[in-house]
């Protein structure tokens, strides 16, 4: 069986003393194994990045950007190969994998703008013959820990921007979906990225702890569940690192009585069930304002679910593939069982979905609950599966209060034709990313991604302007050249521009 190893200093490294199975979720069988890096291997990757940093730091931003231009082309040339690896290990349909990759490529395009992004500010004559300016300098060796659900896009949120800012990078992808991420690193080397600037170590907690405890690693980016995000943030900060840790979500979609229901339902289907619900920006909760809206939503979503095609992601025309692992399948199915036990109305039951040739795969059909209340676990918890809950309220203010009371504040949206209601909602809601008639308000690459409350630990979000700030330090330089031959008297007052 093939073993997926590591990529350090431009070379493949085995270190396969410990391994873990990697599954094809549509078949339910292990197709390869992934090596789990020892602390020594992670330390070797850190040393490689540290050795590469001095030369890379002095590489002109324009030259770094040219490598990113070549890398973008290589990603596009190898898109089918990358997406096939994503689908084989995650299970998402190929069209969804292609959409993920394209959003990642957009972040590479933003990184190509490095010469402009890293321009400082200059002020002449801030005082007598005194000039002042700022520079944005790299941190050094930085690391990223990425999740299984976006094995191409989330790494491309992190390392391209980090390296064009002059840092070197250690990437620790999910051990569930390692192959596409490893190919990303191989293509970067082909694009001209020097060995050691980007290193990939596959692994588990041992690899993560080594990165967090290393005094060489200056910053850590993380995307995953909230408990782990909080732990990484706490441990990383205690070690003196800069940390951005993106956690979980429970995103709500508010449907107003005046909403275009046909288009809202179509949007909600994709937002709730796309990628089998394994997205931190998925919509697992619909807040219907008024019982008429709730009844209409339940009826129309039921009809749409009857037409949704569930099956292997490699089969053209399928809308939803399997969940990523058998353990996750059990967890999500357990939440559906709990929702029934807690008294919610299971309008559509996907637990016994039949998939031709997929009897052993990790398939769960789309599930729809109505009459869900805030104390239920299916409302409180991030399920990360194809489970959509309808909650009924009587006013927009009640909907806002409901959303604001939840511990997560990642994303939300509102469906309405009323501009006043939309403006009221977007201004008052305590959530980091908000859509108006847009169900997945994931910011484009030249903005930044980040939620509020327990969805983000740290002051800066991912990619875009926040990413540049996260991966650089501002240095301000004040300079004076006094006239030659003039002796000046000592000044004991605090300097000012008076």
Q: So where are the chain's domains? A: 3-247+455-477, 252-436
Taking the model in full, what pTM does it have?
0.95
Summarised one tens digit per residue, pLDDT across range 342-391 is 999 999 999 999 998 888 999 999 999 999 999 999 999 999 999 999 99
Strands 452-453 and 252-255: unpaired
Question: What totals of helices (H) and strands (E) does the chain contain, helices first?
Answer: 16, 23
pLDDT-derived band at 491, boundaries 50, 70, 90: confident
Whether pLDDT at 279 is above 90: yes
CB-based contacts of 419, cutoff 8 Å, min separation 6: none
Whether pLDDT at 72 is above 90: yes
pLDDT-derived band at 473, boundaries 50, 70, 90: very high
Summarised one tens digit per residue, pLDDT across range 140-199 is 999 999 999 999 999 999 999 999 999 999 999 999 999 999 999 999 999 999 999 999
Q: Are 196 and 49 in contact (CB under 8 A)?
A: yes
Q: Are 169 and 139 in contact (CB under 8 A)?
A: no
pLDDT-derived band at 496, boundaries 50, 70, 90: confident
Rounded to whole angstroms, the Cα distance separating 213 from 454 reads: 24
Whether pLDDT at 476 is above 80: yes
Rounded to whole angstroms, the Cα distance separating 328 from 335 reads: 11
Task: Output the six-digit token pair for 106.
Answer: 């957009």
Q: Are 165 and 340 in contact (CB under 8 A)?
A: no
Summarised one tens digit per residue, pLDDT across range 413-465 is 999 999 999 999 999 999 999 999 999 999 999 999 999 999 999 999 999 99
Rounded to whole angstroms, the Cα distance separating 298 from 307 reads: 15
What is the reported pLDDT for 461?
A: 96
Active site residues: 280
In this structure, whether the domain defined by 3-247+455-477 belongs to CATH 3.40.190.10 is answered with no
> Quick one: average pLDDT of 238-261?
97
> Quick one: average pLDDT of 294-305?
98
Give whichever of 18-27, 118-127, 488-497 has the largest mean pLDDT. 18-27
Q: What is the CA radius of gyration of the chain?
A: 25
pLDDT-derived band at 111, boundaries 50, 70, 90: very high
Picking from 278, 265, 376, 257, the residue whose alpha carbon sits closest to that of residue 320 is: 278
Question: Alpha helix (H) ranges present in 242-395?
Answer: 261-273, 291-307, 326-341, 377-380
What is the reported pLDDT for 359?
A: 83
CATH number for the domain formed by residue range(s) 252-436: 3.40.309.10
Which neighbouring-strand residues pair with 138?
Answer: 472
Rounded to whole angstroms, the Cα distance separating 87 from 313 reads: 6
């Amino acid at each position: 069986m093939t073993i997926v190893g590591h990529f350090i200093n431009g070379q493949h490294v085995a270190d396969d003393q410990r391994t873990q199975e990697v599954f094809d979720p549509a078949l339910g069988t292990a197709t390869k194994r992934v090596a789990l890096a020892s602390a020594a291997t992670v330390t070797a990757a850190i040393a490689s990045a540290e050795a590469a940093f001095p030369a890379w730091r002095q590489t002109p931003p324009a030259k770094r950007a040219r490598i990113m231009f070549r890398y973008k082309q290589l990603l596009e040339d190898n898109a089918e190969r990358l997406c096939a690896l994503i689908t084989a290990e995650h299970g998402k349909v190929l069209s969804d994998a292609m959409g993920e990759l394209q959003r990642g490529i957009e972040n590479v395009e933003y990184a190509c703008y490095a010469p402009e992004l890293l321009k400082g500010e200059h002020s002449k004559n801030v005082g007598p013959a005194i000039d002042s300016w700022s520079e944005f300098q790299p941190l050094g060796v930085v690391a990223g820990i990425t999740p299984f659900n976006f094995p191409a896009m989330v790494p491309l949120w992190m390392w391209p921007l980090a390296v064009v800012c002059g840092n070197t990078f250690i990437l620790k992808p999910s051990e569930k979906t390692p192959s596409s991420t490893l190919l990303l690193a191989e293509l970067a080397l082909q694009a001209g990225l020097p060995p050691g600037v980007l290193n990939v170590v596959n692994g588990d907690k041992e690899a993560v702890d080594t990165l967090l405890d290393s005094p060489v690693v200056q910053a850590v980016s993380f995307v995953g569940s909230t408990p782990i995000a909080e732990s990484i943030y706490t441990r990383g900060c205690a070690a003196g690192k800069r940390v951005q840790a993106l956690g979980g979500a429970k995103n709500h979609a508010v449907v107003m009585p005046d909403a275009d229901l046909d288009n809202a339902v179509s949007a909600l289907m994709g937002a709730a069930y796309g990628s089998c619900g394994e997205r931190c920006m998925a919509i697992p909760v619909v807040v219907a304002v008024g019982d008429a809206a709730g009844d209409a939503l339940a009826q129309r979503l039921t009809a749409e679910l009857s037409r949704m095609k569930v099956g292997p992601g490699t089969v053209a025309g399928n809308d939803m593939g399997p969940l990523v692992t058998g353990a996750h399948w059990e967890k999500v199915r357990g939440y559906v069982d709990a929702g029934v036990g807690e008294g919610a109305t299971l309008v559509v039951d996907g637990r016994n979905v039949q998939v031709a040739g997929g009897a052993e795969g990790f398939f769960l059909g789309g599930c729809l609950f109505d009459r869900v209340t805030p104390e239920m676990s299916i409302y409180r918890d991030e399920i990360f599966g194809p489970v959509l809950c309808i909650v009924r309220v009587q006013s927009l203010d009640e909907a806002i209060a409901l959303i604001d009371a939840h511990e997560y504040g990642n994303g939300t949206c509102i469906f309405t034709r009323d501009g006043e209601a939309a403006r009221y909602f977007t201004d008052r809601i305590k959530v980091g990313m908000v859509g108006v008639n847009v169900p997945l308000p994931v910011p484009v690459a030249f903005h930044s991604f980040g939620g509020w409350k327990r969805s983000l630990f740290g002051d800066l979000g991912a990619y875009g302007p926040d990413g540049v700030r996260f991966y650089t330090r501002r240095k301000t330089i004040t300079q004076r050249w006094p006239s030659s031959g003039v002796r000046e008297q000592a000044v004991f007052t605090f300097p000012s521009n008076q």
